[in-house]
Amino acid sequence: MTTTVDKSSPLQKPQLISTDQPPLKKQRTVSDLNQVDQLKQLTTVVADTGDVNAIKKFSPQDATTNPSLIYKAAVMPEYASIVDDAVAYGKGDLALTMDKLAVAFGTEISKIVPGYVSTEVDARLSFDTEGTINKARDLIKMYDEVGVSKDRILIKIAATWEGVQAAKQLEKEGITCNLTLIFSIAQAIACAEVGCTLISPFVGRIMDWHKKAKGVDGFAPAE
């Protein structure tokens, strides 16, 4: 304990007075934050992966998956039990097994993120409106079977004309949609006009087109 002697009065016996103060908590500055935490101060962070452990590490608001991301996660040893359960559920039906696998990973992710989890419809249905609608309903039913509300799920659909029309119907049924593979403002407008909950412009491929068109390797941030 740090002390000082109080000699303010000659008639009183000197007293020891504690000068201890609780330590001040250091305020975190931007330089103390990692890149993910800095992003969280500016925008909503969405994880684009099927790796459940990576999502736990970075704690995003939402998460999205697609078949290639699910595949990358599915071959990791720590997720073998999820794959085994999906195979047992499918009983030899490959399409059903893949749907269950996507839902199983989505279910685990929904336990971590507080917001939406996007689950993608089979890309082979991109030009099939009715097929997309039926697949979306099947996915939502699978989520319901394990206790995940459709309010937590975004059905990810390619933004073809047929996909947009499927999203129009699904949104009317209360099934929220994330329209992906958007390369133009026309697609974005079409999605907005039918009330899609979310759109996902394919920024990387859009940039690739502009780099090729202008014959450059990249663009400065200001550009």
State how far the Cα of 158 lies from the Cα of 180, in Å rounded to an integer: 5
Closest CA to 142 of 97, 172, 75, 78: 97
**What DSSP string describes 101-132?**
HHHHHHHHHHTT-SS-EEEEPPGGGTT-HHHH
> Higher-confidence residue: 173 or 33?
173
Within 13 Å and on the Cβ side, how many CA atoms surround 33?
A: 13
CB of 193 closer than 8 Å to CB of 213:
no
CB of 65 closer than 8 Å to CB of 120:
yes
For 213: left if phi > 0, alpha if psi spans -120 to 50, otherwise beta; the answer is alpha
Q: What is the mean pLDDT of residues 16-30?
A: 53
State how far the Cα of 112 lies from the Cα of 56, in Å rounded to an integer: 6
For 77: left if phi > 0, alpha if psi spans -120 to 50, otherwise beta; the answer is alpha
Q: What is the mean pLDDT of the chain?
A: 87
Residue 2 binned pLDDT confidence (cut-offs 50, 70, 90): very low
> Is the pLDDT at 219 greater than 70, yes or no?
yes
Q: pLDDT for 129-151, tens place per residue? A: 999 999 999 999 999 999 999 99
Q: Which of 100, 135, 150, 156 is catalytic?
A: 156
> Is the pLDDT at 18 greater than 90, yes or no?
no
Q: pLDDT for 150-166, tens place per residue? A: 999 999 999 999 999 99
Q: pLDDT for 56-86, tens place per residue? A: 988 889 998 888 888 888 899 999 999 999 9
What angle (nearest 5°) sits at the alpha carbon of residue 152, between those of residues 148 and 156?
110
> Is the pLDDT at 7 greater than 80, yes or no?
no
State how far the Cα of 72 lies from the Cα of 94, in Å rounded to an integer: 18
Active site residue 156: yes
Q: What is the mean pLDDT of residues 181-209?
A: 95
State how far the Cα of 167 lies from the Cα of 74, in Å rounded to an integer: 28
| Residue labelled with tokens 């720590």 | 78
Residue 3 binned pLDDT confidence (cut-offs 50, 70, 90): very low
State how far the Cα of 223 lies from the Cα of 220, in Å rounded to an integer: 5
Helices (H) and strands (E) in the chain, counts: 9, 8
Decide: residue 223, CB within 10 A, 0-12 exposed, 13-18 middle, 19+ buried.
Answer: exposed
